[in-house]
Amino acid sequence: MLERRADGFYVEDVALDRIADDVGTPAWVYSSAAITSRLMRLQAAFAGFDHRICFSVKANSNLSILKLFRDAGAGFDIVSGGELERVLAVEAVPETIIFSGVGKRIDEVDFALKVGIGCFNVESAAELDRLAARAALLGRVAPVSLRINPDIDARTHPYISTGLKESKFGIPMSQALDIYRYASRNPALAIHGIDCHIGSQISDREPLLQAFDAMLQLRSELLEAGIPVRHLDLGGGLGIAYQNEPDFDVEGYGAAIARRLRGEDLQVFFEPGRFLVGNSGLLLTRVEYLKPGVTPADRSFAIVDAAMSELIRPALYSAFHEVVPLGPTDQNARVWDVVGPVCESADFLAKDRHLALAQDQLLAILSAGAYGSVQSSNYNTRPRAVEVLVSGTGFKTVRRRETLRELLANERECL
């Protein structure tokens, strides 16, 4: 999404130094054209079969971005009452909302039942009981899928791998049929589908297709048991390029699903997050100080005004984000660690990068549109950064920079 031109670095037709001058740093910058084109690419890849794309709100829950998705016809995958409030704020169609997550509270279940969401992805028998009881109490029928844990290795980082049997997520395949039978006897529940999500940042479609095959198999067993389902939910997980990895081949994935579906009257749901927004956002930051090493054995540090409190992915998952210095430098390239001001050794954004840097220079930390801002914190009493959405030759602030007054308000009133 970042383009180098003769007179600077651009996102769409907006120069990044213009944004930095206007809103300051650190700042999250998103491209609406990039987001929309990713969604269109997915829609085209899945055009061969009946499908629904539910953007996984946890990846980037900014209201203006949710509105982009809403306007482009996407549904939403939510995991909390808070995320439900967000998608309702952009007038999501209730039918297109699906509710995932292992720990849905009673108030969240009630909220979603009253809204009339499209489906609850249920993760345990206990949750099924709670859902049925609340639906009966409210005089509703809860639409459900069971999230199956197919015990498949998604071959990704252990913290974002969710489909192995040691994971807390989903219902083991061996118990699925019994729990479906149990659910089918309860008039407060309507069985809509089968759900699965085996992990995130998956680069290879094979594990996902294995999960799909497992769901197709279960769907046949359910049919034999007189329990038809109308959709299969493949979750999210499509990986993106952070460094030199190839982008997930969504076209090949779509074609493989279409082949498996031939003639079947089934809708397929997807819950992509990262694929839609990851490469469509960057974190704009400024170098505060340079601390070059003195001897060749020393490390050199570039201390910037963004930190792990903004982008925790490098600290948490050893994630790689490309760092691009924007504009004039002293040309004395050397190997730098790009670090933040937070008092933790884990506070780094990049390590061992060969860069030409200068004090006060702007840097873009790329591929930060997914699990960036949403995972940010106020650690070290750092106000949350501003978010900006670029569209053509213009940009607008889609979340103001938090103020210290706001940050302290909940405590000041308790003094």
The radius of gyration of the chain's CA atoms, rounded to the nearest angstrom, is 23
Q: Residue 12 is which amino acid?
A: E
Between 197 and 353, name the residue whose CB sits nearer to ligand LLP: 197
**Contact pick of 149, 186, 200, 361 for ligand LLP (by CB under 6 A):** 200
Q: Are 39 and 48 in contact (CB under 8 A)?
A: no
Determine if 271 is a binding residue for ligand LLP (CB under 6 A): yes
CA nearest neighbour of 203 among 233, 251, 237: 237
Kindly write out the interface string for residues 317-336 of this chain, putting x where it contacts ligand LLP by CB under 6 A and - elsewhere: x-------------------
Stretch that binds ligand LLP, among 43-51, 195-203, 385-393, 395-403 (CB under 6 A): 195-203
Count of CB atoms situated within 10 Å of the CB of 297: 6
Between 14 and 250, name the residue whose CB sits nearer to ligand LLP: 250
414 in catalytic set:
no
**Contact pick of 118, 170, 237, 340 for ligand LLP (by CB under 6 A):** 237
Shortest Cβ 213–ligand LLP spacing (Å): 19
Determine if 238 is a binding residue for ligand LLP (CB under 6 A): yes
Between 241 and 303, name the residue whose CB sits nearer to ligand LLP: 241
Strand partners, 18: none
Q: At what angle do helices 63-71 and 81-89 cross, to 10 degrees?
A: 60
**Cβ neighbours of residue 54 under 8 Å, at least 6 residues apart?**
74, 75, 76, 77, 96, 97, 98, 269, 270, 271
Count of CB atoms situated within 10 Å of the CB of 133: 15
Interface with ligand LLP in residues 33-62 (CB under 6 A): 56, 59
Interface with ligand LLP in residues 204-233 (CB under 6 A): none
Between 235 and 254, name the residue whose CB sits nearer to ligand LLP: 235
CA nearest neighbour of 55 among 109, 85, 98, 93: 98
Alpha helices by DSSP H, 151-246: 173-184, 205-224
Q: Residue 164 is which amino acid?
A: L
Shortest Cβ 39–ligand LLP spacing (Å): 13
Determine if 340 is a binding residue for ligand LLP (CB under 6 A): no
- Assigned token pair, 41: 């690419």
Interface with ligand LLP in residues 65-104 (CB under 6 A): 77, 100
**Contact pick of 313, 321, 382, 384 for ligand LLP (by CB under 6 A):** 313
Query: Whole-angstrom Cα distance, residue 239 to residue 247?
Result: 7
Query: Whole-angstrom Cα distance, residue 412 to residue 92?
Result: 36
Annotated catalytic residue within 54, 119, 196, 343: 343
Q: Are 337 and 352 in contact (CB under 8 A)?
A: yes
Shortest Cβ 408–ligand LLP spacing (Å): 28
Active-site positions? 343
Residues at the contact surface with ligand LLP, assessed by CB under 6 A: 56, 59, 77, 100, 160, 197, 200-201, 235-238, 271-275, 313, 317, 370-371
